Amino acid sequence: MYRYDSYDQSIVDARVEEFRDQVQRRLAGQLTEDQFKPLRLMNGLYLQLHAYMLRVAIPYGTLNGRQMRKLGEIARKYDKGYGHFTTRTNLQYNWIKLADAPDILAELATVEMHAIQTSGNCIRNISSDQYAGVAADEVADPRPWAELLRQWSTFHPEFTYLPRKFKICVIAAEDDRAAMRLHDIGLKLVSRGGQVGAEVYAGGGMGRTPMVAPLIKDFVPEDEIVPYLEACLRVYNRYGRRDNKYKARIKILVHELGAEEYKRQVEEEFAHMRELGLNPPTEELDRIRPFFANPTYEQGLSDSIDRADPAFALWVDRQVAAHRQPGHAIVNISLKPRGGIPGDASAEQIELVADLAEQYSFDELRVTHAQNLVLPHVKKSDLQTIWRKLDEAGLAEANLDLITDIIACPGLDYCSLANARSIPLAQKLSERFADTGRQKELGELKVKISGCINACGHHHAGHIGVLGVDRKGVENFQLSLGGSGAEDASVGQITGPGFSEDGVVDAIEKVTDLYLAQREEGERFLDTYRRLGMKPFKEAIYG
Amino acid sequence: MVEFLSFRQSEATQEPAVTVESFTGQSNSTAVRIEAGEDARELLPYLDRLSLVEVNFPAYGDGRGYSAARILREAGYQGELRAVGDVLVDQLVAMRRCGFDTFRPDKALDDAAVERALNRYADVYQKTVDGRTPVWAKRRPESVNG
C-alpha cells in the first residue's frame, strides 16, 4: 500500500482547508449556489434529489483496514449508516449535510484519503485491476503506475477544465477485469525486450455514444508516460468539443478525427513534450514501487480445503480465485445479497471487512468496478473462518460474475440525473434468479443496469444490459445484449422496444431460457449470443 | 477589490490587443488577444516582437486558454501573458502555473481571497512552466530533472 509522505499529506490537508473556507462562505451567504456549485463539484460533492452526496476517492481501488474502518465510521456518524461502492471503485455517501462535509474531508485526510477530482471536468480517480499484484498473468503490478498518475493528475493546472470528465485505467494482465478499453485512456502494461511500458488506448467510453477505445500507441516506456499523456490530454483540451456536453468526451474527438489523425496530432505534441523534462525521473517510480511489494507470505502452507460443509464449498468455488502463492487465495466478497442494493454496505459490514483485511489479508483490500470487495492475500486455512464471519454479516453470497452479481447505478432513488429507478429492478432480478442451482447453470452472465443514458451502470458493457428511460412520464427499460467490458470488449445491441420493470425481468428470463436451450459445450451466454446473433433472442422476447 | 493583478516586475502593457487575424495579417502591433479556440502556435513566429498576449476565458469552465498559455511559455515567450474574461479567484493558481502573469477579470476579485488562494498550496506535483519545483524533484534533491 502506498503511504503518504509529508508532501502528499500537506496537499490533501490544504485541500480540506480550502474546501472548509468555501463551505463557510457558502453557509454565510457570501457565495450563491451558482457560484458554489463549481467549487463543490471539484471535490465530489453533488446536490442530489434528497441531500448532498459525497464521493470519496479510492485510488485504484486499494485500501487498508484503517481506511476502510474510517469509511464505516463516517457512514455511521454523518450518513444514515451506509456507504455505496461505485463502478469507479469509489465510495458514495448519499445523505450528507453540507455543514459536515469539511469535517468529513478532515477525517478522511487523517487516513490518507480525499475526495479530490471525484467529479468535475478533470482527470478522475485512476482505476486498475482488483487482482493487481496477485494476478498470475500480470506483467508487473500496475498500481505504482496508477499512483504515479494519481499524483501527476492531482490539481493538474492545464487539465482542470477539460471539455468533459476524463477517466484513466491501468492494467497489466491479459484478462481485463477493469473495463480498460471503455476508459477515456486505457493503459495496458506490457514487456518488450525486458522493458516494461504501456500500450495506450484512447477514446473509449460509455454514455450515450459507447465506444471501445482503439490502440493509439503500442509502447510508451515508463520514463515517457507523463509527457505522452500530457500530449493526449493537450490535444483533447484544445480540440475536444465544447459546444455540446454530450459530444464533449474524448471518444467523440477520436471518432470524428479518426484514430489515425488523433494519433498523429498526439505524436506531434509528444515530440515537443518529451523535450520538456516533464516525466518524474525513474527513481520516482522506483520510490513508489516498494510500497506495493507483496507481503512476506508464510511458506509451506497446504492447498487443501475442508469442503465438508456444502454451503462453504459452494462459496469457495464461486468467490475464491487462485493466488500466485501456494497455500493462499484471493477472496471475493459479494455486495450483491439476494434482493439487496448492489454495492451498498452498512457501517457494520464495512467495519467487519476492515477487520478481516487486517486479520487475514495483510491489512489490504480492494474494491472492484463490479461493486464488490476483494481480500487479496488470504491463507487457505483461514477461508472457513472468514466465510463464517461474512455469513453472519450477510456478506457470504456466492454469485461472483453470475446473473445476480448485478452492477446498478443509484438511479432515480438518489440521482438527480436519472430517468428511472435501477435499484428496484436489480432487486427484482436478484429475487427472480435467486435459486442457486439455476444461477450456477446459467454460468457467467454479467447484468448491468443504468437509470439513464449517462450509463454509470455500464449497461453497454453488460452481457445483458438494461437502460432505464423516461417515456412520457413512465419508466421504461430498454434491453441490450452482447456487451462486454472484458478483454473481448464490445458494445451491446438493443433488442427492440422497451419494457415495464416487470416486463424486462420477464424478457431477461426468456433470453436466458433460449441460451440454456441453444448453448453448445462450454459456451457462456455471451458466446452463444455472439454465435447466434440477435434474431433468435429477439424472437424469443417479442415473438 | 482587485481589478488588475500583476506578477511582473515591469509595468503592464497599455497597448490595446488586436485580434490574431489582424496581428498575423499586417499589423505592427505588439499586443494580441487570443480567443478560446484560436491556435496559440500561430503566434510562435512573432514571439520576439510581442509584449502582450491576452488570453480570453469566455467562461471559467472553458479551459483551452490554459493550453494556449503553456504553449507560449514552452516556446520561450517572455512577455506579458494576461488572462482576461471570466477569471475567478479559484482559477488563479492553475493559471499562474500555466504561465499567466497578469490578470484582468471581468469581475474584480476580493483581495483577501486572492491572498488566501495564492498561498494555499505549498507543494505541486507537476513540472510546468512556472519554475516551481515539483514534489518528485523535492523528494530527490540530487536528481532534479531540469
Output the pLDDT for position A58: 98
Output the pLDDT for position B25: 85
Residue of B nearest to A9 (CA): B123
Mutate to test the interface with B, among A155, A158, A266 (most CBs of B within 10 A): A158
CB contact (8 A) between residue B97 and residue A238: no
CB contact (8 A) between residue B67 and residue A237: yes
Assigned CATH topology for domain B5-121: TIM Barrel (3.20.20)
CA A529 to chain centre: 25
Output the pLDDT for position A117: 95
Output the pLDDT for position A311: 97
Mutate to test the interface with B, among A7, A226, A235, A279 (most CBs of B within 10 A): A7
Using a CB-CB cut-off of 8 Å, the residues of chain A touching B137 are 280
Q: What is the 3-state secondary structure (H, E, C) of A311-347?
A: HHHHHHHHHEEECCCCCEEEEEECCCCCCCCCCEEEH
Using a CB-CB cut-off of 8 Å, the residues of chain A touching B39 are 238
Output the pLDDT for position B141: 67
CB contact (8 A) between residue A10 and residue B123: yes
User: Least CB-CB distance to A155: which of B63, B74, B125?
Assistant: B125
**Any idea which architecture A407-542 has in CATH?**
2-Layer Sandwich (3.30)
Residue A45's closest CA among A86, A106, A96, A9?
A96
Beta-sheet strand order (sheet of A52-56): A45-47, A52-56, A91-96, A82-85, A344-346
Alpha-carbon span A447 to A336, nearest angstrom: 12
Mutate to test the interface with A, among B124, B125, B132 (most CBs of A within 10 A): B125
User: Least CB-CB distance to A160: which of B94, B121, B143?
Assistant: B94
Task: End-to-end CA distance of chain A: give it in Å, rounded.
Answer: 54
Alpha-carbon gap: B100 to the closest alpha carbon of chain A (Å): 12
Alpha-carbon span A142 to A129, nearest angstrom: 8
Output the pLDDT for position A14: 96
Using a CB-CB cut-off of 8 Å, the residues of chain A touching B67 are 158, 234, 237-238
Output the pLDDT for position A35: 81
Residue of A nearest to B39 (CA): A238
Assess B127–A contact: CB distance below 8 Å, yes or no. Answer: yes
- Cell readout for A178 is 477493469
User: Least CB-CB distance to A277: which of B62, B97, B145?
Assistant: B145
Residue ranges of the domains in chain B?
A: 5-121
User: Least CB-CB distance to A160: which of B63, B70, B139?
Assistant: B63
Mutate to test the interface with A, among B136, B138, B143 (most CBs of A within 10 A): B136
Using a CB-CB cut-off of 8 Å, the residues of chain B touching A17 are 120
Alpha-carbon span B101 to A400, nearest angstrom: 55
Alpha-carbon gap: A362 to the closest alpha carbon of chain B (Å): 28
pLDDT band at B135 (very low <50, low <70, confident <90, very high): very high
Output the pLDDT for position B142: 60
Radius of gyration of chain B (CA): 16
CB contact (8 A) between residue A158 and residue B122: no
Q: Sort strands B80-85 and A82-85 into parallel, antiparallel or unpaired.
A: unpaired
Assess B48–A contact: CB distance below 8 Å, yes or no. Answer: no
Q: Are A122 and A160 in contact (CB under 8 A)?
A: yes
User: Least CB-CB distance to A237: which of B39, B64, B143?
Assistant: B64
Find the Cα–Cα–Cα–Cα dihedral A238, A243, A249, A252, rounded to 10°. -90
DSSP for residue A488: T
Assess B146–A contact: CB distance below 8 Å, yes or no. Answer: yes
A507: which residues sit within 8 A by CB, 6+ positions away?
A: A479, A495, A499, A541
Using a CB-CB cut-off of 8 Å, the residues of chain A touching B94 are 155, 157-158, 160
A481-484 long-range Cβ contacts below 8 angstroms, 24+ apart: A481/A511, A481/A529, A481/A534, A481/A537, A482/A526, A482/A529, A482/A530, A482/A534, A483/A448, A483/A459, A484/A446, A484/A526
**All CATH 3.30.70.3340 domain ranges in chain A, comma separated:** 310-392
Instruction: Find cell 493550453 and name the residue.
Output: B67
Assess B1–A contact: CB distance below 8 Å, yes or no. Answer: no
Alpha-carbon span A379 to A356, nearest angstrom: 12
Using a CB-CB cut-off of 8 Å, the residues of chain A touching B64 are 237-238, 242
Given its phi and psi angles, is residue A61 left (phi above 0), alpha (psi -120 to 50 degrees) or beta? left
Q: Which CATH number fits domain A133-290: 3.30.413.10, 3.40.50.970, 3.40.830.10, 3.90.1640.30?
A: 3.30.413.10
Candidate from A244-258, A380-394, B24-38, B40-54 with smallest mean pLDDT: B24-38
Whether the complex's predicted ipTM surpasses the cut of 0.85: yes
**Full pLDDT tens readout for chain A, 543 residues:** 999 999 999 999 999 999 999 999 899 998 888 888 888 988 899 988 888 999 999 999 999 999 999 999 999 999 999 999 999 999 999 999 999 999 999 999 999 999 999 999 999 999 999 999 998 889 999 999 999 999 999 999 999 999 999 999 999 999 999 999 999 999 999 999 999 999 999 999 998 899 999 999 999 999 999 999 999 999 999 999 999 999 999 999 999 999 999 999 999 999 999 999 999 999 999 999 999 999 999 999 999 999 999 999 999 999 999 999 999 999 999 999 999 999 999 999 999 999 999 999 999 999 999 999 999 999 999 999 999 999 999 999 999 999 999 999 999 988 888 999 999 999 999 999 999 999 999 999 999 999 999 899 999 999 999 999 999 999 999 999 999 999 999 999 999 999 999 999 999 999 999 999 999 999 999 999 999 999 999 999 998
Q: How many Cα atoms within 13 Å fall on the side-chain side of residue A430? A: 26
Assigned CATH topology for domain A310-392: Alpha-Beta Plaits (3.30.70)
What is the CATH code of the structural domain delimited by A6-109?
A: 3.90.480.20
CB contact (8 A) between residue A237 and residue B139: no
CB contact (8 A) between residue A11 and residue B121: yes
- Kindly tell me the sign of the dihedral angle through the C-alpha atoms of A422, A423, A425, A430: positive
Q: How does pLDDT run across B79-125, given as a tens digit for each residue? A: 999 999 999 998 999 999 999 999 999 999 999 999 999 999 999 99
Alpha-carbon gap: A287 to the closest alpha carbon of chain B (Å): 9
CB contact (8 A) between residue B64 and residue A276: no
Alpha-carbon gap: B51 to the closest alpha carbon of chain A (Å): 23
Residue B39's closest CA among A243, A265, A260?
A265
pTM for this entry: 0.96
A66: which residues sit within 8 A by CB, 6+ positions away?
A: A111, A354, A363
CB contact (8 A) between residue A152 and residue B74: no
CB contact (8 A) between residue A156 and residue B95: no
Q: Element (H or E) spanning B19, and its range?
A: strand B18-19
Assess B122–A contact: CB distance below 8 Å, yes or no. Answer: yes
Assess B133–A contact: CB distance below 8 Å, yes or no. Answer: no
Q: Are A352 and A393 in contact (CB under 8 A)?
A: yes
Residue of A nearest to B144 (CA): A281
Residue of B nearest to A35 (CA): B88
Output the pLDDT for position B144: 47
CB contact (8 A) between residue B94 and residue A152: no
Using a CB-CB cut-off of 8 Å, the residues of chain B touching A290 are none
Output the pLDDT for position B146: 41
